[in-house]
Amino acid sequence: MRNYNKISGEQIPLPLRDQNNDDKIIHIQKLNKSFGENHVLRGVDLKLNKGENIVVLGKSGSGKSILIKCIAGLVRYDSGSVKVLGNEIKELTSAQLDDLRVKIGFVFQSSALYDSMTVRKNLEFPLRRHQLKLNQHEILEIVESTLQDVGLLHAIDLMPSELSGGMRKRIGLARALVLNPEIVLYDEPTTGLDPITSKEITNLMLNTKKKYNTSSIIISHDMHCAKLTSDRVVVLSDGICYAEGTFDELQKSKDPIIHSFFI
Amino acid sequence: MQKKDTPGLISLLPKGLTSFFEEVGDTSRFAARFLREIWFPPYEFKEVLRQSYEIGYRSLPLVGITSFIIGLVLTLQSRPTLAEFGAESWLPAMVGVSILREIGPVITALICAGKIGSSIGAEIGSMKVTEQIDAMEVSGTNPFKYIVVSRIVATTLMIPLLVIIGDAIALYGSYLAVNINDKVSLTLFFEQVFQKVEFSDLIPSVIKSVFFGFCIGLIGTYKGYHTKKGTEGVGRSANSAVVISSLLIFIIDLVAVQITSFLGLI
């Protein structure tokens, strides 16, 4: 496992609070978020433990993506508490938030690769921008080993427009992993992919958890992916965490809302 | 006791007018944010250089060809009128003053509003709808600085340069047009031009070009940064960036003429 402080010999300038004593990597309490009249999140409570994968299920527009964007500090929430590695997101300065984001990998629904950059530059971007003080050789080593992990080292000099949908997802995942994060947030990682590529991405997520020892929140509609990757499943409905349990527990539920996801 | 709602002044305005004022307010806030953030590190010098190359160097062929044709056509069309008064010898000076004071800056700015404004609006708009701006933020980058500030700085610096180069090319086009009917050396042509042109003609036009550049960058980035409704919104952003910045170019030009006239520079 890579450790940037060891490589660079540098300490992160603004100290974040150390890992909280218990196993909670992410602790969300009574989270509220509205967009005008649209009250998307109405008191969401969620805990992510170390080494755990949580799959969040919910209808389109139920606020799943907003939930993980609140965790990454991309969306400012109205009220409640979002603690990531013991740090209350709302209270962090932008410099502290940047430091915290080194520990969070975000895999976007649309992959969000920078169109004007090659795959290499896409992966180098977070390494250079997070002020990790790595030299060119170290950066190249990290980029190549991460691309190797997702099986796309040969695509290093391609532009995003030259990649297939599955390849883009893999590169998106590689970019999230390049900083060796403790937490990975997946926003519908298999949406828009054919079943075979979907399975490949699901396996890649499982391998990622093993190799990088990450804890993840996975937003997904893909029940096959949810079954394989989840330690716990949370159902988001009407802006709250409606139900929570293992995949098998929820699959057996007679509740019509929960049951509708498993048909 | 519940307070009875009374309609405010704003609610009495037509919806279109309200959204116009909202848009003006949002754009002003966006401009104020630019003016606030430009002074503080980190400075995105590399990105400013890259954008200057994209915006300046890549617009040069279009600006050059258009300016050349404008200089040529303006001279050919003005010649018969001046010939009626036997004043063909004034042609270089008249065309020179027209190009340097007014036609050069405005035509170049309008061309750039079309080419650069639309490309900035569409590029940032597609970055927005494909979450690239969010991805940038989680990568420890201030997207406003990296995307917006760098582009506005680049347009503000590059448009005046393009105007100056465009003016020179337009004057060369004019020189060729003069030589269709007369035989005038390049030295004599430019001597005649600069007999009537002073620094007080050049400075205001360069200053207004700076504002043209700022306005093209500002509107393009604002429209792109606030793109909504997916790919349809990208097209709309690109389109409105061109329309609004073109309109603003004329308004700035009008204000600039009033100011230079007030200062006695005309």
Q: Which token pair is B158?
A: 């590059």
Amino acid at B17: L
Q: How many CB pairs under 8 A join A and B?
A: 48
Domains defined for chain A, CATH in brackets: 21-262 (3.40.50.300)
Task: Give CA–CA dist B266/B259, Å, rounded.
Answer: 10
Q: To the nearest whole angstrom, how far is the Cα of A112 from the nearest Cα of chain B?
A: 5
Q: What is the pLDDT of residue A16?
A: 54
Comparing CB atoms, the residue among A101, A109, A110 nearest residue B140 is A101
Beta bridge partners of A232: A54
Comparing CB atoms, the residue among B130, B141, B142 nearest residue A112 is B130
- Please name the residue ranges forming H helices in chain B: 9-12, 15-37, 45-55, 60-84, 91-98, 104-112, 118-129, 132-138, 143, 150-181, 186-196, 199-225, 230-262
Q: Which residues of chain B make contact with A113, given a CB cutoff of 8 A?
A: 132, 135
* Chain A residues whose C-beta sits inside 8 Å of any chain B C-beta: 69, 72, 74, 94, 98, 101-102, 104, 106, 108-110, 112-115, 125-126, 129-131, 175
Between chains, do A106 and B138 touch, taking CB under 8 Å as contact? yes
pLDDT in tens, A52-105: 999 999 888 888 999 999 999 999 999 999 999 999 999 999 889 988 998 999
Q: To the nearest whole angstrom, how far is the Cα of B2 from the nearest Cα of chain A?
A: 21
Between chains, do B138 and A113 touch, taking CB under 8 Å as contact? no
Comparing CB atoms, the residue among B127, B134, B141 nearest residue A129 is B141
Q: Which token pair is A196?
A: 């075979």
Q: What is the pLDDT of residue B266?
A: 65
B30 and B222 in contact (C-beta within 8 Å)?
yes
**Per-position pLDDT tens, chain B of length 266:** 444 455 566 677 777 788 888 899 999 999 999 999 999 888 889 999 999 999 999 999 999 999 999 999 999 999 888 888 888 888 899 999 999 999 999 999 999 999 999 999 999 999 999 999 999 999 888 899 999 999 999 999 999 999 999 999 999 999 999 998 888 899 999 998 988 888 888 888 999 999 999 999 999 999 999 998 788 899 999 999 999 999 999 999 999 989 888 887 76
Q: Which residues of chain B make contact with A109, given a CB cutoff of 8 A?
A: 131
Q: Which residues of chain A make contact with B127, given a CB cutoff of 8 A?
A: 115
Q: What is the mean pLDDT of chain A?
A: 87
Q: Which of residues 107 through 146 in chain B touch A, CB cutoff 8 A?
A: 126-127, 130-132, 134-142
Q: To the nearest whole angstrom, how far is the Cα of B142 from the nearest Cα of chain A?
A: 9
Between chains, do A110 and B130 touch, taking CB under 8 Å as contact? yes
Q: Which residues of chain A make contact with B151, given a CB cutoff of 8 A?
A: none
Compute the radius of gyration of chain A from its Cα atoms: 18
Mutation for A interface: B137, B139, B227, B228, most A CBs within 10 A: B139
Between chains, do B137 and A94 touch, taking CB under 8 Å as contact? no
Q: What is the pLDDT of residue B2?
A: 47
Amino acid at A238: D
Category of A219 on φ-ψ map: left (φ > 0), alpha (ψ -120 to 50) or beta: beta
Q: Distances in Å between the alpha carbon of B61 and those of B67, B161, B252?
A: 10, 13, 25
pTM: 0.85
Q: To the nearest whole angstrom, how far is the Cα of A69 from the nearest Cα of chain B?
A: 9
pLDDT in tens, A17-26: 544 556 788 9
Amino acid at A168: R
**ipTM of the complex as predicted:** 0.85
Q: Which residues of chain A make contact with B139, given a CB cutoff of 8 A?
A: 101, 125-126, 129-130
